[in-house]
Structure 1
Amino acid sequence: MWRHTLAQIPSTFGKLVYISSLRDTNTGRYEHHGLSQIFGEEETDQALRESHQKTFAEWLSYDLARQKEDLERYLSSFQVDKRTILATWIRLSPYRNLLPAEAGEPERKLYLADFEAILELLKNEHDVVLTDPDA
């Protein structure tokens, strides 16, 4: 069931976003009603935690070109203008919430460096203009 759900998401980054959304930001526990009904809360938390780590490691294993391609695939799944999404990411940095709690400092730094480099490339490619919210 869980593998089938993840298989429906076409990008690794999209999987990372989805799995991260299942983590309670206050407790760090992963929650999925359907899985919990079948396997229990503890086993569900552990399975989702492992999936998060594995998906994060997979995305980190890609070179920058493949990460960029994967991120563009993710962006293409939205009906919203890419410039809007990119500007929001630059302003709010929601991608920082996608890190697994268990990620070590080197992995955290690599992820952020890679993501922010790709974000800068995409910003330039899509002519993202940031407006000053205080203006």
Structure 2
Amino acid sequence: MEPLFDRNVELVGWIQDRENIFDLNINWVAFVSNNNVFSSKTLKWLGPINGFNCLDTRGKIVAWNPDYDIEGSLSPLKPLQPLRPLTPLTPLRPLTPLKPLRPLTPLSGWSNLSFKSWLTE
């Protein structure tokens, strides 16, 4: 599992195999389908994923991983709603990662949404 940080370099969640996203309590909150992130509860489209950067529906970065370049995108097109995948097995809680250095502001900018609000918008 890879850690996800917000614009303030706070740990906000985890991404597993670029397929499933978990919150800090290891609750399954979102999944990836065709390079797009969807809520695991509502199937609502949350935005695209670019590497390990989770973007909002305007292409702005909500969460990022320090091992990958931080890149947003232009406003993406809304994809078709996928079928809900099977609930993944709950993974073991990873060790808390070291806090990375604060990154430069990405060209596309940061999302105004927090990770929690992005998941429930």
TM-score computed with the length of structure 2 as normaliser: 0.25
**Higher-strand-fraction structure:** 2
Q: Give the TM-score normalised by the residue count of structure 1.
A: 0.23
Structure having the larger proportion of residues in helix: 1
Work out which of the two has the higher radius of gyration on C-alpha atoms and give 1 or 2: 1
